[in-house]
């Protein structure tokens, strides 16, 4: 699904060049759940903007579903963001005085989808993210933080994107609520086969993914399978088999 080849990004504020990404390369297969982890200033936010078609690299190539995103025009990048990528942000970005359903429908309104189809797809996305139907007609400012983030996940799902890109999605949540939201991402990946890239600076958050890419000073320093998660899954399966 994703192929990044030798990506560099140089910022030049007032003539002072800064190398944010330095020859980054990796591939992500369809259906993977990957965490990109690094401290502040590591380059992960710059990489997230490039993967989300919010920015273009200075050099190198980025292929998404076989299309060279790094060479597209602004209008073509907008189409990619609308049709191929679902975004989940730390700050939720919901309309506080609109209902849950209305918030989830918004991308479909912009895409010109009819009212009946909008309603069906919004409800389907909300069910997939685990939000109780009793909350569908609530205003978003009447929900808890975890419920709001699940609405944001539903909005990211509603256009059936190839990729879900989550930028510090638990940053504004307490640890218990954060676990619920991360469990939602795991369910979407394991049960629905969604490809998810999770951007985080927290190791505990990254360990919910199947693969962890670590970035420091604009370079990838580690790219490995998450054996801790695999061990936990095997242990759970063993316990369940004993119960049976």
Tokens of 162: 């190839």
Q: Is residue 219 part of a domain?
A: yes
Q: Is residue 3 part of a domain?
A: no
Q: Give the pLDDT confidence of 34-78 residue by residue, as tens digits.
A: 999 999 889 998 999 999 999 989 999 999 998 999 888 889 998
Q: Is residue 114 part of a domain?
A: yes
Terminal Cα-to-Cα distance of the chain (whole angstroms): 38
- Whole domain around residue 107: which residue ranges? 33-48+74-243
Taking the C-alpha atoms of residue 29 and residue 34, their distance in angstroms, rounded to an integer, is 10
Q: How many helices (H) and strands (E) does the chain have?
A: 8, 10
Q: Give the pLDDT confidence of 167-215 residue by residue, as tens digits.
A: 988 888 888 888 888 988 898 898 888 899 999 999 999 999 999 999 9
Q: Is residue 157 part of a domain?
A: yes
Q: Is residue 90 part of a domain?
A: yes
Q: Is residue 176 part of a domain?
A: yes
Taking the C-alpha atoms of residue 44 and residue 62, their distance in angstroms, rounded to an integer, is 15
Q: Is residue 14 part of a domain?
A: no
pLDDT value at residue 59: 94
Taking the C-alpha atoms of residue 238 and residue 230, their distance in angstroms, rounded to an integer, is 12
Identify whether the C-beta of residue 169 lies closer than 8 Å to the C-beta of residue 197.
no
Q: What percent of the chain has pLDDT over 70?
A: 92
Structural domain count of the chain: 1
Q: Give the pLDDT confidence of 136-159 residue by residue, as tens digits.
A: 999 988 888 888 888 988 998 888
SS3 of 161, please?
A: coil
pLDDT value at residue 242: 44
SS3 of 31, please?
A: coil
Q: State the CATH number of the domain containing residue 122.
A: 3.40.50.300
Q: Is residue 183 part of a domain?
A: yes
Q: Which of 156, 164, 173 is nearest to 196 (CA)?
A: 164
């Amino acid at each position: 699904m994703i192929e990044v080849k030798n990506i560099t990004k140089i910022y030049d504020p007032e003539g002072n060049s800064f190398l944010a990404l330095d020859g980054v390369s990796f591939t992500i297969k369809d259906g993977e759940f990957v965490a990109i982890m690094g401290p502040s200033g590591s380059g992960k936010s710059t990489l997230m903007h490039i993967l989300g078609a919010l920015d273009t690299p200075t050099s190198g190539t980025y292929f998404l579903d076989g299309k060279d995103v790094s060479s597209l025009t602004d209008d073509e990048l907008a189409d990619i963001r609308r049709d191929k990528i679902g975004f989940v942000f730390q700050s939720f970005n919901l309309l506080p005085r609109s209902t849950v359903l209305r918030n989830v429908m918004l991308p479909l309104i912009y895409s010109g989808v009819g009212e009946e189809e909008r309603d069906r797809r919004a409800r389907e996305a909300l069910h997939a993210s685990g939000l109780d139907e009793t909350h569908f007609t609530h205003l978003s400012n009447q929900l808890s933080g975890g419920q709001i983030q699940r609405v944001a996940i539903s909005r990211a799902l509603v256009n059936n994107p190839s990729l879900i890109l989550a930028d510090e999605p638990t940053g504004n949540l307490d640890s218990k609520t954060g676990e619920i939201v991360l469990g939602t991402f795991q369910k979407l990946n394991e049960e629905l086969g969604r490809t998810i890239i999770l951007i985080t600076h927290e190791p505990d958050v990254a360990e919910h993914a199947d693969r962890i890419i670590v970035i420091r000073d604009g370079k990838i320093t580690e790219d490995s399978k998450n054996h801790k998660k695999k061990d936990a899954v095997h242990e759970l399966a063993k316990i369940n088999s004993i119960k049976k």
